Amino acid sequence: MTLDPRDALLAGGLEAPGGSRQPPVTHFTGRMVGFEVTTITPDGRDPYTLVTHKVNELKILETKEPFDFDSIEFSMSPSSKQRSLWGVWIASIVKATGATVEESRPDDTKMRYQELYANYLDGKVVEVQRTKVHKLPRKNEANKWEDILVESWEVVSVEGAGSTISSEELALGLLTASPNKLSFIQAVASNPMISADKALLSAINDGSWITMMVNTGKVVAAGEGYTKI
Protein backbone atom coordinates (compact mmCIF):
# COMPACT_ATOMS: atom_id res chain seq x y z
CA MET A 1 0.00 0.00 0.00
CA THR A 2 1.40 3.38 -1.05
CA LEU A 3 0.71 6.24 1.34
CA ASP A 4 1.55 9.91 1.49
CA PRO A 5 4.75 10.76 3.44
CA ARG A 6 2.62 12.36 6.17
CA ASP A 7 0.63 9.15 6.65
CA ALA A 8 3.87 7.23 7.10
CA LEU A 9 5.04 9.73 9.72
CA LEU A 10 1.77 9.49 11.58
CA ALA A 11 1.79 5.72 11.44
CA GLY A 12 5.33 5.68 12.79
CA GLY A 13 4.26 7.77 15.76
CA LEU A 14 6.56 10.64 14.77
CA GLU A 15 3.80 13.26 14.65
CA ALA A 16 0.64 13.90 16.62
CA PRO A 17 -2.66 13.23 14.79
CA GLY A 18 -3.26 15.89 12.17
CA GLY A 19 0.21 17.45 12.34
CA SER A 20 2.76 18.72 14.81
CA ARG A 21 2.03 20.77 17.94
CA GLN A 22 -1.63 19.81 18.30
CA PRO A 23 -3.40 21.64 21.15
CA PRO A 24 -4.96 19.79 24.09
CA VAL A 25 -8.35 21.29 23.16
CA THR A 26 -10.48 18.73 21.31
CA HIS A 27 -13.79 20.58 20.88
CA PHE A 28 -14.29 24.34 20.53
CA THR A 29 -15.98 27.23 18.79
CA GLY A 30 -14.22 30.31 17.45
CA ARG A 31 -13.75 32.63 14.49
CA MET A 32 -11.59 31.39 11.61
CA VAL A 33 -8.98 34.07 10.84
CA GLY A 34 -6.77 32.47 8.22
CA PHE A 35 -4.33 29.62 7.66
CA GLU A 36 -0.61 29.29 7.06
CA VAL A 37 1.03 26.81 4.70
CA THR A 38 4.55 25.58 5.54
CA THR A 39 6.85 22.85 4.28
CA ILE A 40 8.36 20.51 6.89
CA THR A 41 11.51 18.51 6.11
CA PRO A 42 12.17 15.82 8.77
CA ASP A 43 15.69 14.39 9.01
CA GLY A 44 16.08 11.53 6.55
CA ARG A 45 12.45 11.68 5.40
CA ASP A 46 10.50 13.20 2.54
CA PRO A 47 9.23 16.76 3.05
CA TYR A 48 5.54 17.37 3.58
CA THR A 49 3.20 20.35 3.63
CA LEU A 50 1.42 21.46 6.80
CA VAL A 51 -1.67 23.67 6.87
CA THR A 52 -2.11 25.48 10.21
CA HIS A 53 -5.52 27.03 10.81
CA LYS A 54 -5.83 30.04 13.11
CA VAL A 55 -8.90 30.70 15.28
CA ASN A 56 -9.73 33.69 17.53
CA GLU A 57 -12.60 34.32 19.98
CA LEU A 58 -12.02 30.81 21.33
CA LYS A 59 -14.66 29.11 23.47
CA ILE A 60 -13.52 25.74 24.78
CA LEU A 61 -16.10 22.94 24.89
CA GLU A 62 -13.73 20.06 25.69
CA THR A 63 -10.02 19.89 26.50
CA LYS A 64 -7.62 17.26 27.81
CA GLU A 65 -5.80 19.81 30.00
CA PRO A 66 -6.10 23.50 30.92
CA PHE A 67 -5.72 25.88 27.98
CA ASP A 68 -5.78 29.53 29.10
CA PHE A 69 -5.77 31.33 25.75
CA ASP A 70 -8.40 33.09 23.65
CA SER A 71 -7.02 31.83 20.34
CA ILE A 72 -5.90 28.47 18.99
CA GLU A 73 -4.06 26.88 16.08
CA PHE A 74 -4.46 23.35 14.75
CA SER A 75 -2.64 21.64 11.90
CA MET A 76 -3.04 18.95 9.28
CA SER A 77 -1.36 18.02 6.03
CA PRO A 78 -3.08 18.18 2.61
CA SER A 79 -3.48 14.82 0.93
CA SER A 80 -4.64 13.59 -2.46
CA LYS A 81 -6.53 10.76 -0.74
CA GLN A 82 -10.09 10.97 0.53
CA ARG A 83 -9.27 8.37 3.20
CA SER A 84 -6.85 10.67 5.01
CA LEU A 85 -7.00 13.28 7.77
CA TRP A 86 -7.27 15.98 5.12
CA GLY A 87 -10.01 14.07 3.31
CA VAL A 88 -12.00 13.86 6.56
CA TRP A 89 -11.54 17.63 7.09
CA ILE A 90 -12.69 18.49 3.56
CA ALA A 91 -15.70 16.14 3.79
CA SER A 92 -16.76 17.80 7.05
CA ILE A 93 -16.64 21.24 5.40
CA VAL A 94 -18.83 19.95 2.58
CA LYS A 95 -21.31 18.49 5.06
CA ALA A 96 -21.46 21.59 7.27
CA THR A 97 -21.65 24.20 4.49
CA GLY A 98 -23.10 22.56 1.41
CA ALA A 99 -19.95 23.23 -0.64
CA THR A 100 -19.88 21.24 -3.88
CA VAL A 101 -17.57 18.31 -4.51
CA GLU A 102 -15.94 20.27 -7.34
CA GLU A 103 -15.07 23.05 -4.91
CA SER A 104 -13.57 20.71 -2.35
CA ARG A 105 -11.57 18.07 -4.22
CA PRO A 106 -8.63 17.35 -1.88
CA ASP A 107 -6.27 16.47 -4.75
CA ASP A 108 -6.40 19.94 -6.29
CA THR A 109 -4.08 22.91 -5.89
CA LYS A 110 -3.49 25.09 -2.86
CA MET A 111 -5.45 27.80 -4.68
CA ARG A 112 -8.57 25.63 -4.72
CA TYR A 113 -8.45 25.27 -0.92
CA GLN A 114 -7.87 29.01 -0.63
CA GLU A 115 -11.10 29.52 -2.55
CA LEU A 116 -12.98 26.95 -0.47
CA TYR A 117 -11.72 28.55 2.73
CA ALA A 118 -12.50 32.08 1.55
CA ASN A 119 -16.01 31.16 0.42
CA TYR A 120 -17.11 29.09 3.41
CA LEU A 121 -14.83 29.51 6.47
CA ASP A 122 -12.93 32.79 6.49
CA GLY A 123 -14.22 35.13 9.19
CA LYS A 124 -16.97 32.71 10.21
CA VAL A 125 -17.62 31.36 13.70
CA VAL A 126 -17.19 27.59 13.46
CA GLU A 127 -17.50 24.62 15.76
CA VAL A 128 -14.59 22.22 15.38
CA GLN A 129 -14.04 18.86 17.04
CA ARG A 130 -11.29 16.26 17.02
CA THR A 131 -13.27 13.05 16.62
CA LYS A 132 -12.24 9.42 16.59
CA VAL A 133 -14.87 7.84 14.36
CA HIS A 134 -13.00 7.36 11.08
CA LYS A 135 -10.90 4.35 10.13
CA LEU A 136 -7.78 5.28 8.16
CA PRO A 137 -4.73 3.24 7.02
CA ARG A 138 -2.14 2.95 9.78
CA LYS A 139 0.47 0.40 10.88
CA ASN A 140 -0.54 -1.99 13.65
CA GLU A 141 1.66 -3.52 16.36
CA ALA A 142 2.80 -6.16 13.85
CA ASN A 143 4.04 -3.37 11.56
CA LYS A 144 1.37 -4.20 8.97
CA TRP A 145 -1.07 -1.74 7.43
CA GLU A 146 -4.69 -1.91 8.54
CA ASP A 147 -7.65 0.43 8.93
CA ILE A 148 -7.87 1.75 12.49
CA LEU A 149 -9.74 4.56 14.25
CA VAL A 150 -7.72 7.77 14.01
CA GLU A 151 -8.32 11.16 15.64
CA SER A 152 -9.37 13.63 12.96
CA TRP A 153 -10.26 17.33 12.92
CA GLU A 154 -13.80 18.00 11.66
CA VAL A 155 -16.01 21.02 11.17
CA VAL A 156 -19.23 20.43 13.10
CA SER A 157 -21.04 23.64 12.13
CA VAL A 158 -20.39 26.99 10.45
CA GLU A 159 -22.02 30.32 11.19
CA GLY A 160 -24.82 30.94 8.69
CA ALA A 161 -24.81 27.39 7.29
CA GLY A 162 -27.74 25.08 7.94
CA SER A 163 -26.08 21.67 7.91
CA THR A 164 -24.36 20.22 11.00
CA ILE A 165 -22.99 16.91 12.19
CA SER A 166 -25.37 15.60 14.84
CA SER A 167 -24.46 13.51 17.86
CA GLU A 168 -26.49 10.65 16.37
CA GLU A 169 -24.51 10.82 13.12
CA LEU A 170 -21.30 10.66 15.13
CA ALA A 171 -22.66 7.68 17.07
CA LEU A 172 -23.62 5.93 13.84
CA GLY A 173 -20.08 6.45 12.53
CA LEU A 174 -18.64 5.01 15.73
CA LEU A 175 -20.99 2.04 15.60
CA THR A 176 -20.02 1.01 12.08
CA ALA A 177 -16.32 1.63 12.77
CA SER A 178 -16.24 -0.46 15.97
CA PRO A 179 -15.46 -4.21 15.81
CA ASN A 180 -17.97 -5.04 18.56
CA LYS A 181 -20.46 -3.51 21.00
CA LEU A 182 -17.92 -3.19 23.81
CA SER A 183 -15.57 -1.15 21.63
CA PHE A 184 -18.52 0.98 20.54
CA ILE A 185 -19.57 1.72 24.14
CA GLN A 186 -15.98 2.63 25.04
CA ALA A 187 -15.70 4.95 22.03
CA VAL A 188 -19.02 6.61 22.91
CA ALA A 189 -17.87 7.23 26.48
CA SER A 190 -14.82 9.15 25.23
CA ASN A 191 -16.76 11.31 22.74
CA PRO A 192 -17.77 14.64 24.32
CA MET A 193 -20.57 15.45 21.88
CA ILE A 194 -22.33 12.12 22.32
CA SER A 195 -21.76 12.13 26.09
CA ALA A 196 -23.42 15.55 26.27
CA ASP A 197 -26.56 14.17 24.57
CA LYS A 198 -28.01 12.44 27.63
CA ALA A 199 -31.05 10.97 25.86
CA LEU A 200 -28.91 9.42 23.13
CA LEU A 201 -26.33 8.19 25.63
CA SER A 202 -29.04 6.49 27.70
CA ALA A 203 -30.52 4.81 24.61
CA ILE A 204 -27.07 3.58 23.57
CA ASN A 205 -26.31 2.20 27.03
CA ASP A 206 -29.60 0.31 27.33
CA GLY A 207 -29.28 -1.10 23.79
CA SER A 208 -32.46 0.47 22.39
CA TRP A 209 -30.60 2.82 20.05
CA ILE A 210 -28.74 0.01 18.26
CA THR A 211 -32.02 -1.92 17.97
CA MET A 212 -33.64 1.15 16.41
CA MET A 213 -30.75 1.56 13.94
CA VAL A 214 -31.21 -2.08 12.85
CA ASN A 215 -35.01 -1.90 12.69
CA THR A 216 -34.97 1.30 10.63
CA GLY A 217 -32.53 -0.21 8.15
CA LYS A 218 -29.61 2.09 8.84
CA VAL A 219 -27.24 -0.74 9.84
CA VAL A 220 -27.07 -4.50 9.62
CA ALA A 221 -25.22 -6.88 11.91
CA ALA A 222 -21.87 -8.03 10.53
CA GLY A 223 -20.17 -10.53 12.81
CA GLU A 224 -19.81 -8.87 16.22
CA GLY A 225 -20.15 -5.39 14.70
CA TYR A 226 -22.43 -3.47 12.34
CA THR A 227 -22.24 -2.16 8.77
CA LYS A 228 -24.11 0.72 7.14
CA ILE A 229 -26.71 -0.28 4.57
CA 88: distance to chain centroid?
6
**CA 137, CA 83: separation in Å to the nearest integer?**
8
Residues 52 and 15 in one domain: yes
- pLDDT on residue 94: 81
Cα–Cα dist 6/77, whole Å: 7
Same domain (yes/no): 151, 172: no
Residue type, 112: R
Q: Which residues does 120 contact at the CB level (< 8 Å), separation at least 6?
A: 93, 97, 99, 158, 161
Let me know whether 140 and 181 are in one domain. no
Same domain, 135 and 176: no
pLDDT value for 223: 83
Dihedral of the alpha carbons of 96, 102, 106, 111, in degrees to the nearest 10: -100
Beta-sheet pairing, 125-139 with 25-40? antiparallel
Task: Please identify, among 143, 161, 179, the residue that sits at the C-terminal boundary of a domain.
Answer: 161
Number of domains in the chain: 2
Query: Can you give the residue range of the structural domain that contains 171?
Result: 166-229
What does each of the 229 residues of the chain score in pLDDT, given as a tens digit?
Answer: 333 434 333 333 333 444 446 799 999 999 999 999 898 888 878 888 889 999 999 999 989 899 999 999 999 988 877 788 988 898 888 888 877 645 454 444 444 788 888 888 999 999 999 988 888 888 888 888 888 888 999 999 898 875 556 778 878 877 877 778 888 888 788 776 787 788 899 999 999 999 999 999 888 888 888 877 6
Residues forming beta bridges with residue 76, ordered by sequence position: 51
Per-residue pLDDT at 96: 83
Q: Does 98 share its domain with 208?
A: no
99 and 184 part of one domain:
no
Domain identity same for 186 and 170: yes
Domain boundary among 142, 161, 180: 161
Beta bridge partners of 53: 35, 74
Asked if residue 179 and residue 144 are part of one domain, the reply reads: no
- Residue 185 shares a structural domain with residue 98: no
